[in-house]
């Protein structure tokens, strides 16, 4: 299973973060950043994945998603 994120790469990004960073809208630890605007991300079956936009203010305004695969 995978997730697909489509967005304007000049205006947004996708960062896979841990649950704590997802809840606080920050990137504090190791993370993977996607910037293509057409990102296909493999999800682990039976697990949760957390994604945010790391541009200033975007996550705080709701640009984040938690996925259970």
Question: Domain holding 10: CATH number?
Answer: 2.60.40.420
Report helix, strand or coil for 45.
Answer: coil
Range 5-37 burial, b when 16+ CB lie within 10 A, else e: bebeeeebbbbbbeeebbeebebeeeeeebeee
Note whether 17 and 61 are within 8 A (CB). Answer: no
What is the per-residue pLDDT for 28? Answer: 92
What is the per-residue pLDDT for 69? Answer: 87
Domain that holds residue 22: 2-68
Total domains in the fold of the chain:
1
Q: Could you report the average pLDDT of every consecutive run of 10 residues in the chain (69 residues)?
A: 94 97 94 96 92 98 96
Residue indicated by tokens 């606080």: 24
């Amino acid at each position: 299973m995978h997730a697909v994120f489509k967005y304007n790469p000049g205006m947004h990004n996708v960062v896979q973060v841990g649950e704590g960073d997802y809840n606080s809208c920050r990137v504090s630890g190791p993370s993977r950043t996607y910037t293509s605007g057409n990102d296909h991300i493999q999800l682990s079956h039976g697990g949760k994945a957390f994604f945010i936009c790391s541009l200033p203010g975007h996550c705080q305004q709701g640009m984040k998603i938690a996925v259970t695969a």
